A and B are shown apart, each in its own frame.
Chain A
Amino acid sequence: MPISETVKNDSAEMEISGRLGFSDSSEFRKRLNDLLARNVKSLSIDLARLDFMDSAGLGMLMVANTECRSREVALSLCNPQGEVKLLLQMTKSYDRFKIIG
């Protein structure tokens, strides 16, 4: 799960590629907490290069959603593809997350 981040002023961008699964939980949480600790106002997570996400991966995004909401950070998920997009549709995540592209 390569994750890269950039922070410009008070917006953060995270890109996740490859797979997001159970073994990535602590790494993802750490990266998320680091970003939120920088008091950003918005976080956009680019999923264009994410090939696969399992239930643990979606769970991590749910946690991110909750954390961001409680800190009034605007979270958006961008460009989900293929199986990742299917999973988001199947779980009706379009009603709970802001998803762009």
Chain B
Amino acid sequence: MLAHGAGEVVCAVNGVDAFKKLETFSPDLILLDIEMPEMDGLEFCEKLRRVEAPLRDVSVVVMTGLEKMDDRVRALHLGISGLMHKPIQEPQLLQNVHLCLQKRHLMKKLLESPLIQEADLDLAKQMQSLLLPDEAMLQDYSQRYHMGIQHLYRPSEAMGGDYWMMQPINNHIVAVCVADFSGHGVMAAINTFRLHTFLKEYAKYYASPAEVLKELNGNLHRMLPTGEYLTCFLGFIDMQRNILQYAAAAVPPAVIVQNGKFSILDCSGEPLGAYDDAVYHNHEVPFVTNSTLFLYSDALVERNGQDKILFTATSLLEHIGKISLNNKRTVCDGIIADIDQSGHHFDDDLTLLCLSHQ
């Protein structure tokens, strides 16, 4: 029946026999019965996903009489392309096979075409926007920690890898992170997800930011290719002791402003993931009432090959000081207004974050 519509068809009596046949025949699709002697369908799938590509990525449609949810879930986790229930009807079988082969053909074309770069970019951007803190959560943190939170995020055309987040550590300590992966595209977006998960779930188990960075550095060193890295600022703000404890890896200097006076925070450090023996240190600075912590991505001060820049590292600091003295608007509002007025175009993602102790 299949041979009429689908091209070459080869049969095997069980999983062991199938692997033998796969030594010489490379199918686009495998129709698999779960209940088979010697090696059942699920075991076959598990083994299949561990072999080398391209065999590993062949489409698999599973035929089952099994009603057990566990087995169906297990099958889905093995990345099967479809599930059919016995008894199998001929038209249903043909339709499933046809759809599967068509999808596979389209995927092949997509992966080979130059358009994948655009698809890559869009996907990466969507992933990135999923990670940004939402307003409801920020309002909650704002109330809980008596902290003003202002932020700006403007992604670039090229998908630059900026990321920021806040995460409660306990009732009076909240963590803040601003980071930037040096790579681009989907891999950078995936790595950002991993970073996000790690910080959300595990940061609270570490005694200080430096220990978190040390752990991150080890993980990233194993994961990232040579020459790729993460720059990062990680602070634990203690609203009870009025202290900011932070550790940093190669971000531009953060600023704490109070009544027109600013202190520059040294944020130098070896980029995360670059060197497996990198060491990170905790710094502690006062963060008292009416202080503002100003964090920003390097797009704000980078010339990036253009003739005009908006701010140098020094002029930015002076500017922040002036806005703070002025008192008519917040530092964040002031910087944003200046950026908009200047009409300056940023090549890279731009992130600004202002946290004020109220």
Name A's B-contacting residues (CB within 8 A). Answer: 19, 21-22, 51-52, 54-56, 58-60, 62-63, 66, 83, 86, 89-92, 95-96
| Residue numbers in A under 8 Å from B302 (CB-CB) | 52, 54, 83
Known: A51-B305, A52-B304, A55-B180. 6 other contacts (CB 8 A): A62-B226, A66-B226, A91-B268, A91-B269, A92-B250, A96-B270
Distance between Cα atoms of A95 and B278 in the complex (Å): 11
**Structural contact, A63 and B227, CB atoms closer than 8 A:** yes
| Residue numbers in B under 8 Å from A63 (CB-CB) | 226-227
Distance between Cα atoms of A62 and B251 in the complex (Å): 18
Q: Is B358 an interface residue (CB 8 A)?
A: no
**Structural contact, B182 and A56, CB atoms closer than 8 A:** yes
Q: Is B275 an interface residue (CB 8 A)?
A: yes
Residue of A nearest to B224 (CB): A59
Distance between Cα atoms of A83 and B306 in the complex (Å): 13
A78 CB, nearest partner CB in chain B, Å: 20
Distance between Cα atoms of A59 and B229 in the complex (Å): 8
Distance between Cα atoms of A30 and B231 in the complex (Å): 27
**Structural contact, A59 and B268, CB atoms closer than 8 A:** no
Q: Mark B170-203, 1 if CB is under 8 A from A, else 0.
A: 0000000000101010000000000000000000
**Structural contact, A92 and B270, CB atoms closer than 8 A:** yes
Going nearest first, the 3 A-B pairs with the smallest beta carbon separation are A59-B227, A55-B182, A91-B250
| Residue numbers in A under 8 Å from B252 (CB-CB) | 90
Residue of B nearest to A18 (CB): B305
Supply 13 A–B pairs (Cβ within 8 Å), ascending by A. Answer: A52-B303, A52-B304, A54-B304, A55-B180, A56-B182, A56-B227, A60-B227, A62-B229, A66-B226, A86-B313, A91-B271, A92-B250, A96-B275
| Residue numbers in A under 8 Å from B182 (CB-CB) | 55-56, 58-59
Partner of A83, one of B270, B274, B303: B303
Q: Mark B304-334, 1 if CB is under 8 A from A, else 0.
A: 1100000001000000000000000000000
| Residue numbers in A under 8 Å from B228 (CB-CB) | 59
A69 CB, nearest partner CB in chain B, Å: 11
Partner of A21, one of B250, B305, B313: B305
**Structural contact, A19 and B305, CB atoms closer than 8 A:** yes
**Structural contact, A62 and B227, CB atoms closer than 8 A:** yes
Distance between Cα atoms of A66 and B227 in the complex (Å): 9
Partner of A89, one of B184, B229, B268: B268
Distance between Cα atoms of A60 and B225 in the complex (Å): 11
B230 CB, nearest partner CB in chain A, Å: 10
**Structural contact, B227 and A92, CB atoms closer than 8 A:** no
| Residue numbers in A under 8 Å from B231 (CB-CB) | 55, 91
Partner of A62, one of B184, B267, B274, B305: B274
Residue of B nearest to A87 (CB): B250
Scoring B180, B250, B251, B302 by chain A CB atoms within 10 A of each residue's CB, the highest score goes to: B250
| Residue numbers in B under 8 Å from A89 (CB-CB) | 268
A81 CB, nearest partner CB in chain B, Å: 12
| Residue numbers in A under 8 Å from B304 (CB-CB) | 52, 54
| Residue numbers in B under 8 Å from A52 (CB-CB) | 302-305
A82 CB, nearest partner CB in chain B, Å: 9
Distance between Cα atoms of A56 and B305 in the complex (Å): 14
Partner of B270, one of A21, A51, A56, A91: A91
Partner of B269, one of A51, A60, A86, A92: A92
Scoring A63, A89, A90 by chain B CB atoms within 10 A of each residue's CB, the highest score goes to: A90
| Residue numbers in A under 8 Å from B313 (CB-CB) | 86
| Residue numbers in B under 8 Å from A58 (CB-CB) | 182, 271
Distance between Cα atoms of A51 and B279 in the complex (Å): 30
Mark out the residues of chain B between 222 and 255 whose CB falls within 8 Å of any chain A CB in the assembled complex: 226-229, 231, 250-252
Distance between Cα atoms of A21 and B250 in the complex (Å): 18
Distance between Cα atoms of A86 and B274 in the complex (Å): 18
Residue of B nearest to A63 (CB): B227
Residue of A nearest to B313 (CB): A86
| Residue numbers in A under 8 Å from B229 (CB-CB) | 55, 59, 62
**Structural contact, B250 and A90, CB atoms closer than 8 A:** yes
